[in-house]
Amino acid sequence: MHQQDNSDSNRMSQTAQPDGLFRAPRRLGWVMRLLCFLAGVNPMRLAGCPTDDRQATIRVGVAMLVSFLFVTASLTLALSIAFGLTGSGVLFAVPVAALLAGAYILVDHALVQSDWYQSGLRAARHRGFQPDGPRLPGILHRLFLACFRLLLSGVLAYLAATFVEIAVFSKDIERQRLDNHRAANAAVYAAASAQTAAQIAQRDAELGAIAEARAAALARHAEASRTLDAIIRSGTASRDARIALLQTEFDRQQADIGRRRGDAIAEQFGRREAPHHTGVAGQRAQYQAAIAFAAQAEARAALIQAEIDQLRAAEIPGRRELASTLEQARLDLDQAAQRRQQVVAEQERLITNRPAIVRAAAEADPRFVALQDGIFERLSVLDQLLQDPGAWRAAMGILAFMMVAEMAGLLTKLLLTSPGLYAIRTATEIEVGAAETIAGAEADLTATSEALLAAQEARAAAREARDLRADRRRTANMARGLYAKGMAKAEEE
């Protein structure tokens, strides 16, 4: 029957060739061979099939390639997020992802290759081909494979979709992480903020105290300055009057000294320059008197000058104490200005850097909870975000898309590819080859069984012959024993 089916199919192909449905077998290019490998198709068997089968092979092969690239990209993204790879570090994740994706696609490759046979077998049965064997085990096996493939797809899609969701919702995850961190440290930040506010208020109070101290120093300085001016004005007036009087007397004495010395010189040289000059040269009584009067005038002038100097050098009563008060007031004002400058700078620092100061104070608190980061922390935050219905629908959409995308090759073959001549040839060749192999094996088994039976019969005959010879030897031995006993008894008698 199988030979008749093959001859029928050959006749069909020969009659269909004039219509242009078939192509003569020819060598396929490397791209087509690659697509055949991805689609689980035998290139030699496909070479003589219609164009529709080649197009179906191209569709399935391209879909398998797309699935491989998509799974590779998904796993690359997952590995990059899991291990924190960025920039050129992502390149190290690509080979690993491609290796895992290749192992995963091999499962689809086996399923697609099996479906070529199953779909071809169904088409052949529909056309009258009836291979031996029940159908139920095959159906259960395919059902098991379908469930296994769906489970595998769900696991991979869930794994990849989780990391894709981490990338898609990265901004929302970061915002939620910060919100959780702030909520966990709300009390700590409130205490740190209150502490900083207290420090700013303390600086305000200190500035108020400095302003009061400065006002008091200004008041003391103004009062001391007014008092000192009054004392200086009153003391200076009386002193200047006394000095003016003494200066007049000092000038008169100086004039008297000059006149007396002129009289002495005139008397010494005998010049008559005034009516009271004697005109006699020599150091007589008039000369001595002029010298004595000049010495007395010099003594009086020295005393007057000493008193003038003493008055000028004398300190006004109370002036030293007031000057000390003024100096202390100036020092107080300078210190107040410096302290105010320091406090203002400190207050501006507290106000300008208040967030950083509050954060530093909060982090120094033993109750502070540090901001955690890592894949498990982001997964936990993602679970928290998915409690929102909108985010959950988006996540389910991503998961469904991932499942459909990574099953693109398998779905293209199962749902979008009708069984053609290639599938029928695959199924019939496998079934015919299996039948021929089984028939040959049965013939070999029959010959082997007959040979074994003949050998067993030969061994049984040999065994019976050996047993017969053994019986004969035992009988002869017994006869010889009886004869020996009879002879011995005869001799005794």
- Cα separation, 184 vs 177, in Å, equals 10
- Given a cut of 50, whether residue 402 has pLDDT beyond it is yes
Around 12, how many Cα atoms within 13 Å sit in the side-chain half-sphere?
Answer: 13
**Pairwise CA distance, residues 293 & 262, whole Å:** 11
Angle at 73 between CA 71 and CA 74, to 5 degrees: 60
- The pTM of this model reads 0.49
Amino acid at 298: E
Q: How confident is residue 137, by pLDDT bands cut at 50, 70 and 90?
A: low
- Assess whether pLDDT exceeds 50 at residue 17: no
pLDDT band at 296 (very low <50, low <70, confident <90, very high): confident
The average confidence (pLDDT) of the chain is 76
Which has the higher per-residue pLDDT, 490 or 67?
67
- The per-residue pLDDT for 151 is 81
Confidence grade of residue 355 (pLDDT, cut at 50, 70, 90): confident
Residue 96 has a CB neighbour count (10 Å cut-off) of 13
Residue 233 has a pLDDT of 62
Q: What is the DSSP letter of 22?
A: -
The reported pLDDT for the residue numbered 129 is 65
What structural domains does the chain harbor? 2-182+378-423 (no CATH), 186-363 (1.10.287)
At 312, the pLDDT band (50, 70, 90 cuts) reads low
pLDDT band at 413 (very low <50, low <70, confident <90, very high): low
pLDDT tens, residue by residue, 67-79: 889 889 888 888 8
**Per-residue pLDDT, 229:** 63
Give the least confident one: 50-54, 161-165, 233-237. Answer: 233-237
% residues pLDDT > 70 (the chain): 78
pLDDT of residue 185: 79
